[in-house]
């Protein structure tokens, strides 16, 4: 009974943090720029005039959207709160670092999931995309959004009070991921060294699963892709906690 | 009952010992003042006590819970207004409070009732639905206090709660501190405002260079430094020279204060006969004479300047 009450309190506190983040951070300019405008520009830049097949285009755009939207909110929260002097108040509250991290990840996850529905809708309505494996697509979408949201929270552990520094670091990570993950050039067309590199990116597995779910060919075994997304989630969350702990020690 | 127990706390930044192996206890139902000059280690100590900073060594117990082994239980017992804190400026006053209610695991109805009471008490109820970005510093500080009090904690940690506020806001906050104490709660007040500590606190600790210089009741502190006892004397327009007063029996120091003289003496009563003799010899007219205990500010400065380690009972 006591364990159930503890779990209930933990969930309540985590969701409260997530709700607070939703109210404060979804409409912040850096989130709008990197979470909405940037994926839209990427879509236009790669889609117009290239004559890509819907089986190629929609998964690619979805991959970029998932990466940028899910990791848009996380990097902003901790540095913004340190800058606004609300972070110290949180450190004195009866919440664990896990509550804080999971609250941040969930708010990034919900933002990413919501915005990622747009490219799916565009693909379905305007690009004749067919969703041949709807349930696997849903699972892949949920896992990848969670994965990149965790990546966003990991980046926010950078011990600084300047959000722009963290956003810069986030872009330094996100841009190479787009180009090393077979997003716009299918994996089978990449040179060998680039294929090896691609295995180290979670976006590779996400886009490969999207492609297969939308009637295209997968390059990697689908079960392995799901497994790798879970591995990346695990790594990002554990790393995230350690990095935030270290960040708190450095900052305070 | 001891509600805060700090044992051998130490914290070093580089080569600077911010907190140097300090131990103290705070009794329940008291207002405990924590004083010190800038850089003495008082905010570092408060940040250790409230779980912001992890010390290099030592332990903190809050209501019997170790802050480092049972942090959630220990923090649940405290309300905190950190020195460098802010409210969420993008949220309304009401939403700020509801958020605190949720992370302190309060039931929604209970949080709403308590929030309404506190907002009325702090004269913020009419502004509850406004975003706090438009609030003045005093209003934000009052809201921070509402947030700290929402969960009805047993201990309230306040770090410089009235610094930079107008007189009215200071009065409101001091009044609330007294009311909170009257309900049987404990307040740990970190401040550099000695007069505030004098007005509010039952016990005071003075920290200097990371070490506790003294812990005692304000009245005992004032009596303890006897060389700061003094006589304040005022003459009419014919006053003696300062060096004549230096020569009086028992006088250890003379200071001019406005049109009066302050004669410092361990035993002020012993100065009176020689003072009377001087008045008679010089045909002076004495307007007033008062014996004075040292102010807390004088005790504080004396202790800090002499870096004297004084402990009650030592």
- DSSP per-residue string spanning B155-190: EEEEESTTTT--HHHHHHHHHHHHHHHHTT-EEEEE
Residues in chain B, pLDDT under 70 = 224-227, 306-314
Amino acid B72: pLDDT: 95
- The pair phi, psi for residue B79, each rounded to 5°, is -115, 140
Q: In A211-238, which positions are buried (b, 16+ CB within 10 angstroms) versus exposed (e)?
A: bbbbbbebbbebeebbebbeebbeebbe
pLDDT tens string B146-184: 999 999 999 999 998 888 888 888 888 888 899 999 999
* B51 interaction partners in chain A (CB closer than 8 Å): 91-92
A33 DSSP assignment:
I
Query: Using the beta-carbon criterion (under 8 Å), do A252 and B53 form an inter-chain contact?
Result: yes
Torsion, CA B92, CA B97, CA B98, CA B102, rounded to 10: 140
Amino acid B229: pLDDT: 79
Q: Give the nearest partner residue to B105 out of A9, A84, A91, using CB atoms.
A: A9
- The per-residue pLDDT of chain B, averaged, comes to 88
pTM across the whole model: 0.84
Amino acid A39: pLDDT: 78
Query: Using the beta-carbon criterion (under 8 Å), do B86 and A85 form an inter-chain contact?
Result: yes
Q: Which of B63, B68, B72, B157 to mutate to test the interface with A (most CBs of A within 10 A)?
A: B72
Tally of CB atoms within 10 A around B256: 11
Q: In A64-82, which positions are buried (b, 16+ CB within 10 angstroms) versus exposed (e)?
A: bbbbbbbbbbbbbbbbbbb
Amino acid B241: pLDDT: 85
pLDDT confidence band for A70 (50 / 70 / 90): very high
Q: Give the nearest partner residue to A92 out of B50, B73, B88, using CB atoms.
A: B50
Amino acid B312: pLDDT: 41
Hey, is the C-beta of B125 within 8 angstroms of any chain A C-beta?
no
* B100 interaction partners in chain A (CB closer than 8 Å): 93
Query: Using the beta-carbon criterion (under 8 Å), do A94 and B87 form an inter-chain contact?
Result: no
Contacts of B308 (CB under 8 A, 6+ apart): B213, B214, B302
How far apart CA B222 and CA B206 sit, in angstroms, is 13
pLDDT confidence band for A1 (50 / 70 / 90): low
Domains of chain B are 2-221 (3.40.50.300), 226-293 (3.30.70.980)
Query: Using the beta-carbon criterion (under 8 Å), do B52 and A91 form an inter-chain contact?
Result: yes
ipTM value: 0.89
Amino acid B313: pLDDT: 39
Kindly identify which residue of chain B lies nearest to residue A14, measuring between CA atoms.
Answer: B103
* A19 interaction partners in chain B (CB closer than 8 Å): 99, 102
Amino acid B308: pLDDT: 45
Amino acid B231: pLDDT: 86
Give me the number of domains chain A comprises. Answer: 1
Contacts of A138 (CB under 8 A, 6+ apart): none
- Taking one residue from A and the other from B, the number of pairs with CB-CB distance under 8 angstroms is 75
- Within a 13 Å sphere around the CA of A143, how many CA atoms are in the beta-carbon half? 24
Hey, is the C-beta of B88 within 8 angstroms of any chain A C-beta?
yes
pLDDT confidence band for A155 (50 / 70 / 90): very high
The sign one gets for the Cα dihedral A223, A224, A230, A233 is negative
- The pair phi, psi for residue B267, each rounded to 5°, is -125, 90
Amino acid B295: pLDDT: 73
Tally of CB atoms within 10 A around B301: 15
Kindly identify which residue of chain A lies nearest to residue B52, measuring between CA atoms.
Answer: A91
Q: Which of A6, A94, A96, A245 to mutate to test the interface with B (most CBs of B within 10 A)?
A: A94
Q: Which of B14, B102, B135, B150 to mutate to test the interface with A (most CBs of A within 10 A)?
A: B102
Tally of CB atoms within 10 A around A30: 18
Contact (CB, 8 A) for B32 and B181:
no
How far apart CA B167 and CA B175 sit, in angstroms, is 12
If phi > 0 it is left, if psi is from -120 to 50 it is alpha, else beta; for residue A212 that is alpha
How far apart CA B283 and CA B297 sit, in angstroms, is 36
Cα angle, residue B96 at apex, residues B90 and B102 outer, rounded to 5°: 130
How far apart CA A72 and CA A25 sit, in angstroms, is 10
Q: For residue A54, what are the domain limits?
A: 2-251
């Amino acid at each position: 009974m006591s364990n159930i009450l503890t779990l209930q309190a933990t969930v309540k506190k985590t969701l409260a943090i997530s709700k607070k983040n939703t109210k404060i951070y979804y409409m912040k300019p850096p989130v709008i720029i990197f979470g909405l405008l940037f994926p839209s520009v990427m879509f236009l830049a790669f889609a117009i005039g290239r004559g890509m097949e819907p089986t190629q285009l929609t998964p690619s755009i979805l991959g970029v959207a998932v990466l940028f939207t899910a990791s848009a909110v996380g990097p902003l929260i901790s540095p913004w709160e340190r800058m606004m002097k609300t972070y110290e108040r949180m450190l004195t509250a009866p919440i664990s670092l896990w509550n804080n991290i999971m609250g941040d990840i969930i708010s990034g996850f919900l933002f990413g999931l919501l915005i990622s529905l747009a490219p799916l809708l565009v693909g379905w309505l305007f690009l004749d995309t067919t969703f041949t494996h709807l349930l696997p697509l849903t699972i892949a979408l949920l896992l990848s959004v969670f994965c990149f949201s965790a990546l966003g929270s990991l980046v926010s552990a950078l011990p600084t009070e300047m959000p722009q520094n963290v956003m810069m670091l986030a872009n330094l990570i996100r841009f190479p991921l787009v180009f090393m993950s077979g997003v716009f050039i299918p994996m089978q067309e990449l040179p060998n060294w680039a294929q090896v590199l691609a295995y180290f990116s979670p976006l590779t597995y996400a886009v490969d699963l999207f492609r297969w779910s939308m009637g295209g060919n997968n390059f990697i075994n689908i079960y392995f892709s799901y497994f790798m997304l879970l591995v990346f989630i695990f790594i990002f969350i554990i790393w995230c906690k350690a990095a935030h702990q270290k960040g708190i020690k450095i900052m305070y | 009952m001891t509600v805060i127990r700090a044992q051998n706390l130490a914290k070093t930044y580089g080569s600077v010992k911010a907190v140097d192996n300090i131990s103290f206890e705070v009794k329940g139902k008291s207002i405990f003042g924590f004083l010190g000059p800038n850089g003495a280690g008082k905010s570092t100590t408060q940040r250790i006590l409230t779980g912001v900073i992890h010390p290099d060594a030592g332990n903190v117990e809050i209501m019997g819970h170790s802050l480092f082994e049972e942090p959630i239980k220990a923090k649940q017992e405290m309300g905190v207004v950190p020195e460098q804190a802010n409210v969420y400026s993008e949220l309304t006053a009401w939403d700020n409070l509801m958020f605190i209610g949720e992370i302190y695991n309060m039931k929604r109805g209970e949080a709403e009732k308590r929030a309404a009471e506190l907002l009325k008490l702090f004269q913020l109820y009419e502004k509850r639905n406004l975003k706090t970005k438009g609030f003045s510093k005093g209003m934000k500080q009052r809201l921070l206090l509402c947030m700290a009090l929402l969960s009805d904690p047993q201990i309230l940690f306040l770090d410089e709660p009235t610094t930079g506020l107008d007189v009215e806001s200071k009065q409101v906050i001091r009044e609330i501190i007294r009311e909170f104490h009257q309900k049987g709660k404990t307040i740990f007040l970190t401040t550099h405002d000695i007069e505030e500590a004098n007005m509010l606190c039952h016990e005071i600790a003075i920290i200097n260079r990371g070490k506790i210089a003294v812990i005692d009741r304000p009245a005992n502190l004032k009596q303890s430094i006897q060389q700061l006892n003094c006589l304040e004397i005022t003459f009419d327009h014919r006053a003696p020279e300062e060096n004549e007063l230096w020569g009086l029996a028992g006088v250890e120091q003379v200071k001019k204060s406005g049109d009066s003289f302050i004669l410092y003496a361990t035993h002020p009563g012993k100065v009176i006969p020689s003072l009377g003799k001087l008045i008679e010899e010089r045909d002076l007219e004495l307007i007033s004479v008062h014996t004075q205990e040292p102010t807390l500010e004088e005790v504080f400065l004396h202790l800090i300047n002499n870096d004297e380690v004084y402990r009650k009972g030592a």
